[in-house]
Chains A and B, each alone.
Chain A
């Protein structure tokens, strides 16, 4: 009788262990025919369809490799899925990671394979100079070695309601260029009967990070973190203070309307409650669909007394990272796919259909020669803003660990400032102080 029990236990154990290891076995498929690689991404809706189209085009263009795009949820979901998969030895070949995850990916040294290295090993022709410098610098070492391939890049611009401009007696073809002009126009728009004058998305990305870069002011020490983990935030300057104090005062007069974190302020603009709004160029297509009025896209305003302004704006969006520990064939597949993605035709197609920026100058020229900007002037404003000047130490990007928490601290404190719980000065100082503590934690771990 005992024997029978043992058999039963063994049976149960077998079933249980099969369940456990089923997931691990997926990886070990015999290599029959083309090499298949997985590409985890976070693109939904039309952009998700475009990712699939890109993969289909690549798969049809050659016989050796198959790229299989898999949607993994939001940016943070995708990153978490990648982390979990890596820890379980089941990582995909390619993963799309948003810009705030850049330092985390970089410091995961054993986990990722730098793109410049991958391309060299795979023997792919790879010239970093074909890419737009402001875009690639964000994802490169300070020596210019590209770590991840920029995929969907955007930058922040100003949207304005041309109909509202006309109604307020303003010239719809002459959007404000400097901040003082901008605030004047905002007051006039409000006075013309609008609910408010202006609003902004992404207070951290647009009004702090891009604001600093556009004025060629450092956001943090050590070239915004590019030159070392011992970087410190230093954006609580008199310039930022003046800017935020002006916006705070205008919020008291309801000239500035707060619409929420991230991109939640969009309805304020598309419903015509405010006449000017700051948002990513990635939102261009969305506004084309939702705005029942004529709108224009303009460069970010700047303070004329700052010498060197305007410099260039910085990007947001995501890039493609390659996981390490893959076979040579798989790496070759990735390299081949990356070369395909960098082709002018591929980039022009992606750019024109998603609103994200082209990553190569050739793709920009191609799009221009195709006459795309005649009917869609908005995206060109963004590209020109990026290309305005060669990037400096203060405008090539931001490289911080724990960046997501730092942005969260900025968002929360900005709400406390607007609610009058903390003065603008104390608020900015708090952002810097608490953000620095998070930078130190990251440094402690990654020394």
Chain B
């Protein structure tokens, strides 16, 4: 059983967590507070002038249409939803297939997990090369064999499709591992019993396997949404750079572009504060509702 251990001195435990707290403070709290502070100012990048503008940076985000923040919000939600749906459904399908008794099963499994080892940035480059309208292999094939003009540099829909595919491809491996583990923990006798009762494969899956997978599914749902919102920056950066126009400029990309490239520190800080609030909200949702409802 778990043994309770009590420190004899009061100070020692605090001292032991101190290094961790220092790191958390220096790398998380301090920058967050700075971001919050900076979001109320217009600032010369060199720190020479600081002009207090109150909530101007925030109101500008939501009232100035040329800023494109509302649009960026909408795009991010659509993008995260599309990536989550695509990555999870394909991963679930592949996991159920790999879970069957087939030859070379472990080989397939290894191959399926492999893309996860590819850095997100590299994944972006790979997809970009294949679909580059000027020199890409797939773009050429689409145009000359299927008669589809591939021009994601100007076609908004194609650009969105491309970044969604690239981001999902990367995430399928992750989902696959979890789904496969989930499937393997579904007791075989339940499925056999249902089979004897005359339930077909589809019915067995939806009535028994899928409900039993729900903890995994919920967990992945949150993880995929987080991935879609916050971790797909390299894909956007590599593949479309937010274009055409602003049509794939998701929130995390915009915050970087406005702050680092365009040196609009106030506006960028205001955006990062909003992102911070969103992450907090997602975390609360995860712990409050999902962790409580779902049993691992």
A interface residues (Cβ-Cβ under 8 A, vs B): 1-2, 5, 8-9, 12, 16, 76, 80, 83, 86-87, 104, 107-111, 258-261, 264-265, 267-268, 271, 273, 402, 404-405, 408-409, 411-413, 415-416, 418-419, 421, 430, 433-434, 437, 441, 444-446
| Residue in A2, A411, A415 whose Cβ sees the most chain B Cβ within 10 Å | A415
- Inter-chain contacts of A405 with B (CB < 8 A): 258, 262, 264
Instruction: Determine whether the beta carbon of B243 is less than 8 Å from that of A12.
Output: no
User: Inside 8 A of B263's CB, which chain A residues have their CB?
Assistant: 83, 104, 402, 404
Do A437 and B66 touch across chains, with their CB atoms under 8 A apart?
Answer: yes
The 9 A-B residue pairs with the shortest CB-CB distance, nearest first, are A415-B244, A5-B11, A108-B46, A267-B134, A434-B66, A405-B262, A111-B46, A416-B245, A419-B154
A108 touches B134 (CB 8 A): no
Contact A5 B44, CB 8 Å, known A258-B153, A412-B246: no
Q: Which residues does chain B contribute within 8 Å of A430, judged by CB atoms? A: 66
Q: Is the Cβ of B45 less than 8 Å from the Cβ of A415?
A: no
Query: Chain A residue with minimal CB distance to B134?
Result: A267
- By a CB distance below 8 angstroms, the chain A residues around B293 are none
Q: Which of A259, A265, A412 has the largest number of chain B CB atoms within 10 A?
A: A412
Which listed residue, A8, A83, A264, A268, touches B15 by the CB 8 Å rule? A8
Stretch at the interface among B47-55, B171-179, B214-222: B47-55
In this assembly, does B241 line the interface, its C-beta being within 8 Å of a C-beta of chain A?
Answer: yes
Which residues on the B side are within 8 Å of A408 (C-beta)?
257, 261-262
Q: Is the CB of B42 within 8 A of A444?
A: yes
Does the CB pair B264–A108 fall under 8 Å? no
Given A109-B48, A259-B134, A446-B49 in contact, is the A412-B243 Cβ separation under 8 Å?
A: yes
Contact B243 A261 (CB under 8 A): yes
The complex places the Cα of A353 from the Cα of B12 at a distance, in Å, of 64
Is residue B9 within 8 Å, beta carbon to beta carbon, of the partner chain?
A: yes
Main DSSP-derived SS at the B contact region: loop
Q: Which residues of A contact B243 (CB under 8 A)?
A: 261, 411-412, 415
Q: CB-CB < 8 A to A268: which residues of B?
A: 134
A-side contacts of B245, CB under 8 Å? 412-413, 415-416, 419, 421
Cα of A38 to Cα of B58 in the assembled complex, Å: 39
Is A260 a contact of B51 with CB atoms below 8 Å?
no
Q: Tell me, yes or no, whether B200 is within 8 Å of chain A by CB.
A: no
In the assembled complex, B190 has its CB within 8 A of some CB on chain A: no
Give Cα A260 to B128, complex, Å. 13
| Known contacts A258-B151, A271-B134, A421-B245; 18 further A-B pairs (Cβ under 8 A) | A80-B260, A83-B45, A108-B45, A110-B48, A258-B154, A261-B243, A264-B153, A265-B134, A267-B134, A404-B263, A408-B262, A411-B243, A412-B245, A415-B153, A415-B154, A418-B154, A437-B64, A445-B42
Residues of chain B with a CB closer than 8 A to A109's CB: 48
In this complex, what residue of B is CB-closest to A411?
B243
For residue A411, which residues in chain B have a CB less than 8 angstroms away from its CB? 243
Chain A residues within an 8 Å CB radius of B64: 437
Query: Can you give 29 contacting A-B residue pairs, CB < 8 Å?
Result: A2-B11, A5-B9, A5-B12, A9-B15, A12-B15, A83-B263, A86-B46, A87-B46, A104-B263, A108-B48, A110-B48, A258-B154, A267-B134, A271-B135, A273-B134, A402-B263, A402-B264, A405-B264, A408-B257, A408-B261, A415-B244, A416-B245, A419-B245, A433-B66, A441-B42, A441-B264, A444-B51, A445-B44, A445-B49
Complex: A279 Cα to B51 Cα, angstroms: 40
Given contacts A12-B19, A83-B46, contact A261 B66 (CB under 8 A): no
Q: Is the CB of B44 within 8 A of A446?
A: yes
Within 8 A of A (CB), among B84-129: none
Residues A261 and B18 in contact in the complex (CB < 8 Å), given A5-B9, A437-B66: no
- B184 touches A (CB below 8 Å): no
A412 to B257 Cα, complex, angstroms: 13
Contacts of B9 in A (CB 8 A): 1, 5
| Chain A residue contacts of B238, Cβ below 8 A | none
- Hey, which chain A residues are within 8 Å of B155, CB to CB? 419
Pick the contact of A76: B154, B246, B260 (CB < 8 A).
B260
A402 CB contacts on chain B under 8 angstroms = 262-264
Q: Do A267 and B46 form a contact, CB below 8 Å, given A415-B244, A445-B51?
A: no
CA distance A83 to B263 in the complex (A): 10
CA distance A110 to B48 in the complex (A): 7
Least Cβ distance of A297 to chain B in Å?
21
Tell whether, in the assembled complex, residue A267 and residue B51 are in contact, meaning their CB atoms are under 8 Å apart.
Answer: no
B156 at the interface (CB under 8 A from A): yes
B22 at the interface (CB under 8 A from A): yes
* B46 partner residues in chain A, CB cutoff 8 A: 83, 86-87, 108, 110-111
Which parts of B31-90 form the interface with A (CB within 8 Å)? Answer: 42-49, 51, 64, 66
> What's the nearest-Cβ distance from chain B to residue A173, in Å?
28
Q: How far is the CB of B45 from chain A (nearest CB, A)?
A: 5
A107 in complex: contacting residue of B44, B66, B154, CB < 8 Å: B44
How far apart are the CA atoms of A441 and B43 in the complex, in Å? 10
CB nearest to A107 among chain B residues: B44
Which residues of B lie under 8 Å from residue A446 when comparing CB positions?
A: 44, 49
In the complex, which residue of chain B has the Cβ closest to the Cβ of A412? Answer: B245
A84 and chain B: residue at smallest CB distance: B45
The answer on a CB contact under 8 Å between A111 and B154 is: no
* Chain A residue at smallest Cβ distance from B68: A412
A12 and B261 contacting across the interface, CB-CB below 8 Å: no
Q: Which residue of chain B has its CB nearest to the CB of A86?
A: B46
2-24 of chain B: CB within 8 A of chain A: 9, 11-12, 15, 18-19, 22
Chain B residues whose C-beta falls within 8 Å of the C-beta of A259 in the assembled complex: 133-134, 153
For B49, the closest partner residue in chain A by CB is A445
Cβ contacts under 8 Å, B11 to chain A: 2, 5, 9
The CA-CA distance from A2 to B154 in the complex, in Å, is 69
Contact A261:B241 (CB < 8 A) given known A8-B15, A445-B51 = yes
**With A412-B245, A416-B244, A445-B42 given, is the CB distance from A87 to B47 under 8 Å?**
yes
Taking CB atoms, residues of chain A closer than 8 Å to B246 are 412
Complex: A86 Cα to B64 Cα, angstroms:
32
Chain B residue with minimal CB distance to A76? B261
